[in-house]
C-alpha cells in the first residue's frame, strides 16, 4: 500500500481512500469497527480510524457537530447579507472546533469518494454537506443512512450508499438562515434600544422559535401568579353493601356553598340510606402504548424521574452513540417491519435486567411479533428502540433509567392487551341527588407486566343490584380550592411546542435552555419562573413584533421548509420572503425605539421610575381609585375585586376574612394575589377597594 504522511506525527493515510465524515468521535469509532478492524491514529489531537473494507481503504474522521454557520460582517440592523463561515471564527467559546477542522482538512482532500455519515436528519445532512463542500468534492459525495449504530445496520448502510440528500441540505440551510435572520435582527434591535436610552450594552436575544415560546411561558406565568382560588365543595359518603364498605361522591348537583354542603350531610346522616340507581360491571381491554418518540420519552422521564427535556435528550443521545438504542431525535411512534425485531428481542434475553421479560414475550407471542403502531410518523427514523447490544456494567443510574424505559416500552408494544374489570355504582339520596363510585381491578396484566409505569391503581368495589339499598356508615364534606388551569415547567413548554408544531425534536429542549441562559427564565425552589427581563422582552415582542409572539409565523416557515424538501419552493424564495417580513417589522420598531429602551431600562434598574407601585415598588403604570400600581398588581387587584365578594358568599364569611386567608397562604393563590392580599391586610384603603368590588 502507498501512504502519505500528513501534518501529524502519528497518522499515516492511504493515498487512495474513501473519506467518511461522522458527526461525532464516538459515532466515527462505531462506523469504523462495523467495517472491519481499524487502526486508530490522531491528527491534531482528533482521533481518526483507518480500515480495510472490501478491498478499499476507508478513513473515518469525526466532526464535533456544526463546523460552519451563517455569519455577516455587517453591523447595525436590519442586516440581510450572510455567508456560511467557520463557526470558531465568529462564535465565542467555539475555538475547540478548530482542531476538528484541521483534522478534516488533512483527511478529506484527494479522496476518491466522500461519504456523509452524520446523523440522518436535517442537521446531520447540513453538517456533512458543508464539510465536504469546503474540504472535499460534493460531486464525489454519497449519503449513508442509518437509524442506529449497531454493526449490522452500519454495514448495511455502507453497502447501500445513496446520492446526497440535497433537498434535506437545502431545507436545513434555510432553517439556519431563517433563524439567523430573525434572531440577529430582532436581538440587535432590542440591544440598540437599551443602549440608546441607558448607554449600556446588554446581551438580549429573540428568535423565530424562541420568542413565541417565551411569550407562552409569560402567559402561563401570569395565570399562575394571578390565580384566585375559588372554593368547591364535595360531599362524600361511606356506604356498606353486604359487609363491604366503599366510598361514593356526590356528582349532581354539586353544592354551591358551605351551607348547602352542610345541609346535604345532615340529611344523609338522618336518613342513613342510599338507593342504587344504576350498577354496571364491565370488562374492557387496554391497548399497549406505542414505542417512544423523543417527546414522549422526555415527558415520561420528567414524570417518573424529574429529568428536564434537555437532560433526557442528552442521556438518550449518549445511549445512541453507545449503540444501545436507535436514533432518539425522532417524531415517530411506529416500528416498521423492515427491522429484525425478533433478533433484537432474542438478544435481550441475555440481559440480566430485561432477559426474563424478553423471554416471556417470545413465549407469549410464539415469535409472532406485531407491534402496536402510534399515530405520529417520521420519514427519516422509526420509533426509539433498543438495538439488542448489551449495556456495559459502567452505565450509570441516569443512563440506565432511560435505557430501561426504552426497552420496556419497546417490549410492551409487542405484548397483548391488558384486561381490566370496572364496577360503576350510581346511587341517589332522599332528595334525588346522585352519588357515584368507580372501582377498577386488573384481570390480566398483559402489557403492564413489561411497562408497569402506566398500570392503574386497583380499588375494587362491590356490585350491588339496581334498587338495592346502601347503608350510610359515614358522611361528610370537604372544601377544596381550585388550582391554576395551567402549569409552567420545562416539559410543559416542550409539549406545548410539540402541540403547536414549532421547533424540531432535536431543537426544542435546546431552545428552552436558551431562555434560561438569556436570563428570561429561572429555576427557583424546583420551579420555573419568568424573570422581570423575560416579562418585558415578551411584552415588547407582543407589541412591536407581533408575528414573533405566536406560533403562526414559525408554522408558516416550517411549511415552507417542507416545501423546500419536497422541491416545491427554493431556499432563495423562502429567505427573500423572510427578509421582506423582517424589514417591515424593523421599520415599525425604529419609530418606537425610545419607548422600548425606556421600558427595558426601567426593568433592568438602569433608570428610576417617576411613580412606583404601592405593593412592590416597580414602575406604576396604572391607577385604581387613586392607588398607584404596576401592571401585575393592578390586574391582581381587579381579579380580587371581582372574585372576593363571591367567594365570601360561598363560604359564609366576610370579604375581609377571605383576603386575610389569601394573605396567610392557606390556598393555591398566585404570588401576585398573595402580595396584594398581604398589603390589603395592612392597608384599609386597599382592603376597601377589593371588598367593594370596584363599584
Could you tell me which residue, 393 or 456, shows the higher pLDDT?
A: 456
Would the pLDDT of 568 be above 80? yes
Question: Between 601 and 266, whose confidence is greater?
Answer: 266
Structure confidence at residue 588 (pLDDT): 80
Query: Is the confidence at residue 474, as pLDDT, over 90?
Result: yes
**Domains of the chain by start residue, with CATH:** 3-164 (3.40.50.140), 173-226+491-603 (1.10.460.10), 231-287+418-481 (2.70.20.10), 294-414 (1.10.290.10), 622-691 (no CATH)
Q: Which residues in 418-534 belong to E strands, given as ranges?
A: 418-428, 434-444, 469-481, 521-524, 527-530
pLDDT score of 9: 41
Q: What is this structure's pTM?
A: 0.87
Q: What is the Cα Rg of the chain in Å?
A: 31
* pLDDT at residue 8, as a whole number: 38
pLDDT in tens, 195-251: 877 777 877 788 888 999 999 999 999 999 999 999 999 999 999 999 999 999 999
375: left (phi over 0), alpha (psi -120 to 50) or beta: alpha
- Cell readout for 612 is 412606583
pLDDT band at 600 (very low <50, low <70, confident <90, very high): confident
Scanning the structure block, which residue is given the C-alpha cell 360503576?
Answer: 424
Say how far apart CA 497 and CA 486 lie, in whole Å: 15
CA distances 529 to 7, 190, 550, Å, are 52, 22, 20
Q: What sign does the CA torsion over 573, 574, 578, 581 have?
A: positive
In this predicted model, what pLDDT tens digit does every residue of 413-441 receive, in sequence order? 999 999 999 999 999 999 899 999 999 99
CB-based burial of residue 504 (10 Å sphere; 0-12 exposed, 13-18 middle, 19+ buried)?
buried
Cell digits of residue 596? 422600548
474: left (phi > 0), else alpha (psi -120 to 50), else beta?
beta
Cell of 528: 420555573
Give 423's Cβ-side CA count (13 Å radius). 19
Please tell me the distance from the alpha carbon of residue 563 to that of residue 657, in angstroms, as a whole number: 61
More confident call, 604 vs 41: 41
Q: Please report, for residues 221, 349, 447, 448, 450, the alpha-carbon distance to residue 356 in angstroms, rounded to integers and kept in the order given.
A: 46, 6, 14, 15, 10
* pLDDT at residue 608, as a whole number: 80
Q: What pairing do the DSSP bridges indicate for beta strands 244-252 and 434-444?
A: antiparallel
**Cell for 69?**
454557520
Q: Which of 513, 605, 486, 524 is nearest to 214 (CA)?
A: 513
**What one-character DSSP code corresponds to residue 687?**
H
Residue 527 pLDDT exceeds 90: no
How far apart (Å, rounded) are the C-alpha atoms in residues 101 and 124?
16
- For residue 4, the model assigns a pLDDT of 40
Whether residue 199 contacts residue 606, with contact meaning beta carbons closer than 8 Å, is answered with: no
How far apart are the C-alpha atoms of 624 and 353, rounded to whole Å? Answer: 64
- pLDDT number for residue 554: 82
pLDDT the model gives residue 7? 41
Is the pLDDT confidence value at 605 over 80? no
Tens-digit pLDDT profile for residues 355-381 = 999 999 999 998 889 999 999 988 889
- Averaged over 176-190, what is the pLDDT? 90
Active site annotation includes 480: no
At 189 the pLDDT is 86
CA distance 50 to 111: 13
What per-residue confidence (pLDDT) applies to 231?
Answer: 93
The per-residue pLDDT for range 119-144, each reduced to its tens digit, is 999 999 999 999 999 999 999 999 99
Residue 6's pLDDT band (cuts 50, 70, 90): very low
Residue 64, pLDDT > 70, answer yes
pLDDT mean across residues, the chain: 91
Residue in 114, 120, 307, 327 annotated catalytic:
327
User: What's the mean pLDDT in 89-110?
Assistant: 93
> What is the structure's pLDDT at 10?
56
Query: Residue 369 half-sphere exposure, CB side, CA atoms within 13 Å?
Result: 23
pLDDT at 504: 85
Q: Are 170 and 560 in contact (CB under 8 A)?
A: no
The residue ranking higher by pLDDT, 260 or 1, is 260
Provide, rounded to the nearest whole percent, the portion of the chain with pLDDT above 70. 98
User: What pLDDT score does 224 carry?
Assistant: 95
**Any idea of the CA torsion for 299, 496, 484, 629, to the nearest 10 degrees?**
130
Q: Picking from 230-239, 275-284, 320-329, 536-545, which range would have the lowest pLDDT averaged per residue?
A: 536-545
- In sequence order, what are the residues at sequence separation of 6 or more whose Cβ sits closer than 8 angstroms to the Cβ of residue 415? 288, 361, 364, 365, 446, 447, 449, 450
Reported as a pLDDT band with limits 50, 70 and 90, residue 5 is: very low
To 5 degrees, how large is the angle CA 437–CA 442–CA 443? 120
Amino acid at each position: 500500500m502507498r501512504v502519505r504522511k500528513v501534518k501529524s506525527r502519528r497518522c499515516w493515510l492511504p493515498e487512495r481512500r474513501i473519506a467518511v465524515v461522522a458527526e461525532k468521535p464516538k459515532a466515527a469509532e462505531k462506523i469504523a469497527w462495523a467495517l472491519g478492524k481499524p487502526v486508530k491514529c490522531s491528527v491534531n489531537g482528533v482521533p481518526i480510524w483507518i480500515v480495510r473494507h472490501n478491498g478499499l481503504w476507508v478513513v473515518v474522521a469525526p466532526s464535533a457537530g456544526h463546523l460552519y454557520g451563517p455569519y455577516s460582517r455587517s453591523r447595525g440592523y436590519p442586516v440581510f447579507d450572510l455567508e456560511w463561515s467557520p463557526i470558531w471564527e465568529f462564535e465565542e467559546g467555539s475555538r475547540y472546533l478548530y482542531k476538528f477542522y484541521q483534522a478534516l482538512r488533512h483527511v478529506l482532500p484527494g479522496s476518491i469518494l466522500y461519504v456523509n455519515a452524520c446523523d440522518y436528519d436535517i442537521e446531520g445532512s447540513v453538517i456533512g454537506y458543508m464539510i465536504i463542500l469546503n474540504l472535499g468534492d460534493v460531486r464525489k459525495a454519497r449519503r449513508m443512512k442509518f437509524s442506529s449504530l449497531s454493526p449490522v445496520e452500519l454495514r448495511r448502510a455502507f453497502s447501500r450508499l445513496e446520492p446526497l440528500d440535497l433537498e434535506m441540505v437545502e431545507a436545513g440551510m434555510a432553517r439556519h438562515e431563517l433563524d439567523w435572520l430573525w434572531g440577529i435582527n430582532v436581538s440587535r434591535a432590542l440591544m440598540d434600544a437599551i443602549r440608546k436610552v441607558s448607554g449600556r450594552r446588554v446581551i438580549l436575544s429573540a428568535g423565530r422559535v424562541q420568542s413565541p415560546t417565551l411569550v407562552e411561558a409569560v402567559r402561563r406565568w401570569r395565570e399562575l401568579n394571578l390565580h384566585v382560588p375559588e372554593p368547591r365543595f364535595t360531599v362524600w359518603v361511606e356506604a356498606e353493601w353486604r359487609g363491604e364498605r366503599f366510598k361514593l361522591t356526590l356528582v349532581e348537583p354539586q353544592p354551591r356553598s358551605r351551607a348547602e354542603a352542610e345541609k346535604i350531610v345532615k340529611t344523609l346522616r338522618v336518613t342513613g340510606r342510599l338507593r342504587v340507581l344504576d350498577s354496571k360491571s364491565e370488562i374492557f381491554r387496554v391497548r399497549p402504548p406505542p414505542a417512544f418518540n423523543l417527546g414522549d420519552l422526555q415527558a415520561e422521564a420528567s414524570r417518573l424521574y424529574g429529568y428536564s427535556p434537555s437532560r433526557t435528550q442528552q442521556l438518550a443521545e449518549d445511549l445512541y452513540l453507545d449503540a444501545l438504542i436507535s436514533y432518539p431525535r425522532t417524531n415517530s411512534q411506529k416500528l416498521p417491519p423492515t427491522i429484525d425485531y425478533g433478533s433484537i428481542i432474542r438478544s435481550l434475553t441475555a440481559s440480566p435486567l430485561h432477559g426474563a421479560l424478553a423471554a416471556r414475550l417470545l413465549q407469549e407471542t410464539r415469535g409472532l411479533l406485531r407491534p402496536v403502531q402510534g399515530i405520529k410518523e417520521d420519514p427519516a427514523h422509526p420509533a426509539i428502540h433498543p438495538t439488542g447490544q448489551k449495556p456495559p456494567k459502567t452505565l450509570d443510574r441516569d443512563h440506565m433509567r432511560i435505557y430501561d424505559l426504552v426497552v420496556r416500552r419497546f417490549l410492551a408494544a409487542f405484548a397483548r392487551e391488558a384486561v381490566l374489570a370496572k364496577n360503576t355504582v350510581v346511587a341517589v339520596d332522599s332528595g334525588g341527588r346522585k352519588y357515584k363510585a368507580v372501582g377498577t381491578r386488573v384481570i390480566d396484566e398483559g402489557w403492564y407486566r413489561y411497562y408497569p409505569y402506566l398500570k392503574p391503581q386497583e380499588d375494587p368495589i362491590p356490585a350491588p343490584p339496581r334498587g338495592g339499598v346502601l347503608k350510610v356508615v359515614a358522611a361528610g364534606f370537604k372544601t377544596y380550592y381550585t388550582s391554576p388551569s395551567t402549569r409552567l415547567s420545562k416539559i410543559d413548554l416542550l409539549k406545548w411546542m410539540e402541540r403547536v408544531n414549532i421547533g424540531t425534536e432535536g431543537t426544542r429542549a435546546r431552545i428552552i435552555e436558551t431562555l434560561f441562559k438569556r436570563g428570561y427564565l429561572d429555576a427557583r425552589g424546583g420551579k420555573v419562573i419568568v424573570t422581570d427581563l423575560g416579562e418585558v422582552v415578551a411584552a415588547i415582542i407582543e407589541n412591536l413584533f407581533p408575528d414573533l409572539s405566536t406560533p403562526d409565523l414559525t408554522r408558516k416557515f416550517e411549511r415552507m421548509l417542507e416545501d423546500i424538501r419536497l422541491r416545491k419552493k427554493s431556499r432563495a424564495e423562502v429567505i427573500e420572503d423572510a427578509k421582506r417580513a423582517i424589514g417591515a417589522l424593523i421599520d415599525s420598531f425604529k419609530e418606537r425605539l425610545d419607548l422600548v429602551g425606556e421600558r427595558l431600562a426601567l426593568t433592568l434598574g438602569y433608570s428610576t421610575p417617576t411613580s412606583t407601585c404601592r405593593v412592590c415598588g416597580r414602575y406604576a403604570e396604572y391607577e385604581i381609585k387613586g392607588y398607584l400600581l404596576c401592571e401585575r398588581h393592578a390586574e391582581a387587584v381587579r381579579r380580587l375585586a371581582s372574585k372576593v365578594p363571591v367567594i365570601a358568599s360561598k363560604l359564609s364569611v366576610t370579604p375581609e376574612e377571605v383576603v386575610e386567608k389569601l394573605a396567610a397562604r392557606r390556598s393555591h393563590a398566585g404570588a401576585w394575589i398573595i402580595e396584594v392580599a398581604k398589603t390589603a391586610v395592612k392597608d384599609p384603603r386597599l382592603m376597601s377597594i377589593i371588598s367593594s368590588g370596584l363599584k
